[in-house]
Structure 1
Amino acid sequence: MWSLFAAFVLVALLVDFFAMSKQGAHRVSTREAATWSIVWVGVSFVFMGWLWWYLGGAGEDEAARTLANAKSLEFLTGYLIEKALAVDNIFVFLMLFTYFAVPAEFQKRVLMIGILGALVLRAVMILVGAWLIAQFHWILYVFGAFLLFTGIKMWWAAGQEPDLDNNPALKWIRSRFRIAPDYDGERFFTVVGGVKMATPLLVVILLIGIVDIVFAVDSIPAIFAITTDPFIVLTSNVFAILGLRAMYFLLANMHERFHLLSYGLAIVLVFIGAKMLLIDIYKIPVVFSLGFTAVTLAVTMILSLKIPPKGTPGGAYPFGAKKQDEQT
């Protein structure tokens, strides 16, 4: 199972890279993004069906059918949670692209590099996390408390505009690199006035890498609340991430419509944190976790469409430059 999964991921990435190199830099249309989003979701459900069949879901052995049903449900729940948390990633990516005025035709490559980094990072963190849980059961309580804190923090931060000008990571990057004022195609470095400088594209990729680390720290404990099976944890994470690039281009123009989604994600994180803290007292069924997550996200998305946002955020400018002329 591990070998087949690894082979599938490598093939999927090669196909994605080949398609990207063949198309070159171009603006991804909503239709193209929707098509790839459907493909990735479909592939994820095909994998879940294969997993169910491989574990004996269609056989006559009752124990095998029970195991197949349980593992498939764990995968589906984990996939839904990770996919929902990935939406928050998308909104942060959108903020970075807007702040640095990244041309639409360059965004695809940046996201692909970010996704590769996220896959490697999460694989390492999941394997380490699984080992820690196997060795130290009390780590689950640490994860649960962390998720409770993260959910409450996300609730209070929802609707607030992040201040990138004062972001420590951006300040650190600016102190280490000379940053060119303009883009130079898809290059990461350029020469301006005889001086080698980093392009804004490199800065964006570095910041996305930092975002990947932050979100991995949040999302990985969340999936361990559903299952401690490393295979299910890793596969649900990977399948959620593989479709992230297509989902970004699909939702990039609709982020304001789902302005209440962060509140729903906060509620889900608090619920999962509580589930993890209660694991030795009462084990909340996976099917209930799946239903609670789906209903919470659906309700917040519907309310987002019904209730208009309080205000429209102002424009953002590369490197924090202020607008000089309102008419311009």
Structure 2
Amino acid sequence: MESQLSWWIGFHVFVFAMLALDLGVFHKKDHVVSVKESLIWTGVWITLALIFNYGVYHYIGEREAYEFLTAYVLEKSLSVDNIFVMTLIFTYFKVEQQYQHRVLFWGILGALVMRIVFIAGGVALISKFHFILYIFGAFLIYTGAKMLFSGGDDDINPEEGFIYKFSKKYFKMTDKFHAQKFFVMENGVRHMTPLFLVLLIIESTDVIFAVDSIPATLSVTKSAFIAYTSNIFAILGLRSLYFAFAGVVKLFRFLSYALSVVLIFIGVKMLIEFKYKIPTSYSLGFVLGLITLSIIFSLLIPEKENDESK
């Protein structure tokens, strides 16, 4: 299956066709994406992923179909933290809602390249040096434990990041936004706008999240095709999920703890693989069950407001 170039070509033709349809037809004009519209598109991307999953089951095999679905659910769950960070970045730079979709759209193209490099590199390393799995597993346990004890309260200041400092130092940049433009000409010189800077920072956060999510995906499948397609489907639906979820993500206060436990579970799974291989169906059930319970408990047990008057 890995050697069938037609699978890779067909998948990318589909992805680029959907992106062209998205930007060229449905979002040709910048507008504020409503919750209703984002929920519809979220449903569309999930449906397409499930159709693809059936295709994997029918043409490749049952095991690969389970692996795709598990990796897709895992990546989709981990992307919630990504949504929270993107919300903070857009808020920090005061990016108007009608231009956020454009940033996320172009961010997808960068993610396509980065994910295939990360996954291809990860698969190559694992196939040549099997002990890399244990390093990945230990790293996931460390990351999950760090998230668990921090409670997701880490402050994010984009101005302290490398991308912001590098761009400010080496590129000419305008002081204000110019609608949806990434670059403008001023006095005959091309300047970067703050919107492009936001795009660069969004791309850099995807690299950071890929460091967690790619090892987690490779704990489920060693197939580069399954790992890549499950990741890309999750990323393609991330934009729609962002607009549907950004405003209420803070309500699910137990979700970050659930994601932490998921990472720890995946890390342990990788470490004990030499002795006991946890079935993919068990992993899928654990991830789905834990995420669902965290959402239910978040809704049933709302956070108590601090009484500052005391």
TM-based fold match above 0.5: yes
**1:91-102 equivalence runs, <5 A:** 91-102=84-95
Match of 1:104 in 2: 97
**1:169-180 equivalence runs, <5 A:** 169=162, 170-180=164-174
Alignment partner of 1:300 out of 276, 286, 294? 294
In structure 2, relative to structure 1, the CA distance for the partners of 1:185 and 1:258 (3 Å cut) is same
Query: Which letter does structure 2 place at the counterpart of 1:7?
Result: V
Query: Which letter does structure 1 place at the counterpart of 2:50?
Result: F
Match of 1:129 in 2: 122
Question: Which SS does the other structure have where 2:273 is aligned?
Answer: coil
How does the TM-score come out when normalised to structure 2? 0.90
Question: Which SS does the other structure have where 2:175 is aligned?
Answer: coil
In structure 2, relative to structure 1, the CA distance for the partners of 1:196 and 1:116 (3 Å cut) is closer
Alignment partner of 1:255 out of 249, 252, 261? 249
| Structure 1, 185-194 or 168-177: larger mean CA deviation | 185-194
Q: Deviations over 1:161-190 (max 9, x none)?
A: 514066333334333345433211112234
- Looking at structure 1, the residues matched to 25 and 254 of structure 2 have their Cα atoms a distance apart, in angstroms, of 35
Q: Deviations over 1:253-296 (max 9, x none)?
A: 11121122111111000000000011101111111101110111
Query: Does 1:3 find its partner at 2:3?
Result: no
Q: Deviations over 1:284-325 (max 9, x none)?
A: 11111011101111111112212333569xxxxxxxxxxxxx
In structure 2, relative to structure 1, the CA distance for the partners of 1:307 and 1:43 (3 Å cut) is same
- Looking at structure 2, the residues matched to 120 and 165 of structure 1 have their Cα atoms a distance apart, in angstroms, of 23
Match of 2:45 in 1: 40
| Structure 1, 192-201 or 144-153: larger mean CA deviation | 192-201
Root-mean-square deviation over aligned CA pairs: 2.0
- Looking at structure 1, the residues matched to 84 and 231 of structure 2 have their Cα atoms a distance apart, in angstroms, of 18
| Structure 1, 94-103 or 303-312: larger mean CA deviation | 303-312
Match of 1:323 in 2: none
**Conserved? CA contact 1:155–1:263, under 8 Å:** yes
- Looking at structure 1, the residues matched to 152 and 187 of structure 2 have their Cα atoms a distance apart, in angstroms, of 42
**Conserved? CA contact 2:158–2:201, under 8 Å:** no
Match of 2:3 in 1: none
Match of 1:315 in 2: none
Alignment partner of 1:144 out of 134, 137, 146? 137
**1:308-327 equivalence runs, <5 A:** 308-309=302-303
For structure 2, list consecutive stretches of 5 or more residues without a partner in the other structure.
1-6
Alignment partner of 2:18 out of 5, 8, 12? 12
How does the TM-score come out when normalised to structure 1? 0.85
Query: Which letter does structure 2 place at the counterpart of 1:13?
Result: L
Query: Which letter does structure 1 place at the counterpart of 2:57?
Result: W
Match of 1:59 in 2: none
**Conserved? CA contact 1:159–1:259, under 8 Å:** no
Query: Which letter does structure 1 place at the counterpart of 2:291?
Result: L
Query: Which letter does structure 2 place at the counterpart of 1:15?
Result: L
In structure 2, relative to structure 1, the CA distance for the partners of 1:29 and 1:153 (3 Å cut) is same
| Structure 1, 282-291 or 186-195: larger mean CA deviation | 186-195
Query: Does 1:70 find its partner at 2:57?
Result: no
Query: Does 1:228 find its partner at 2:222?
Result: yes
Q: Deviations over 1:200-243 (max 9, x none)?
A: 21221110111011011110000111111111111111111111
Match of 1:154 in 2: 147
- CA shift, 1:12, in A, is 1.7
**Conserved? CA contact 1:256–1:309, under 8 Å:** no
User: Percent of counterpart pairs with the same letter?
Assistant: 44
**Conserved? CA contact 2:89–2:158, under 8 Å:** no
**Conserved? CA contact 1:77–1:289, under 8 Å:** yes
- Looking at structure 2, the residues matched to 254 and 52 of structure 1 have their Cα atoms a distance apart, in angstroms, of 35
Q: How many residues align?
A: 299
**Conserved? CA contact 2:88–2:156, under 8 Å:** no
- CA shift, 1:199, in A, is 2.0
